[in-house]
Amino acid sequence: MLSKKTQYAFHALVHLAENVDKGPILISEIAQEKNISIKFLENILLELKNAGILGSKKGKGGGYYLMRPPKEIALAKIIRLLDGPIALLPCVSLNYYERCENCRDEAVCGLNEVMGKVRDSALKILENKTLKDILTRG
């Protein structure tokens, strides 16, 4: 499961994407709209900003905004940033690989092989779907 942090990030990003035309959006507005603790959200948005995904403006008329169009922000990027590995096992993670401590040889480990396939099938979606794809429909 994704952490609350990542779940909140997605909802916040959706709100920002749905209001791109309105200039910077207040943290407090997002918090209220999406039912998220404002202080917790503050940290999350800051992390997204430090990763170059969001920009911000201080003072009156300030707030947060997307640095790129929604269709250029892949879901996988957000998950990896806030939650870490997408793979189910460290030994099949592309970005957070760790050697398996419990098997002799990963090259012939069937678990490794199957979990690699699960990772691929998840990535096929998460690398290609973007913020644009998760906006409210209808």
Q: Please list, in sequence order, all residues whose beta carbon lies within 8 angstroms of the beta carbon of residue 2, skipping any fewer than 6 positions away.
A: 79, 83
Q: How many CA atoms lie within 13 A of 132 on its CB side?
A: 9
Q: Please list, in sequence order, all residues whose beta carbon lies within 8 angstroms of the beta carbon of residue 40, skipping any fewer than 6 positions away.
A: 5, 8
Could you tell which of DNA, a copy of itself, none binds residue 47, using a CB distance below 5 to 8 A set by kind? none
Give me the phi and psi of 103, to 5 degrees please.
-130, 155
Residue with smaller CB distance to DNA, 42 or 106:
42
Could you tell which of DNA, a copy of itself, none binds residue 40, using a CB distance below 5 to 8 A set by kind? DNA
Among 21, 35, 61, 108, binds DNA (CB under 7 A): 61
Could you tell which of DNA, a copy of itself, none binds residue 71, using a CB distance below 5 to 8 A set by kind? none
Binders of a copy of itself among residues 49 to 68 (CB under 8 A) are none
Could you tell which of a copy of itself, DNA, none binds residue 27, using a CB distance below 5 to 8 A set by kind? DNA
Hey, what's the torsion of the CAs at 54, 138, 76, 91, to 10 degrees?
150
For residues 130 and 75, the answer to whether their CB atoms sit within 8 Å is yes
CA angle (18 as vertex; 15, 22 as ends), nearest 5: 100
Among 13, 16, 45, 87, binds DNA (CB under 7 A): 45
Smallest gap from Cβ 49 to a copy of itself, in A, equals 20
Interface ranges with a copy of itself (CB under 8 A): 1-2, 7-8, 10-11, 14, 34-36, 75, 84-85, 87-90, 101-103, 108-111, 113-114, 117-118, 121-122, 124-126, 129, 133-138
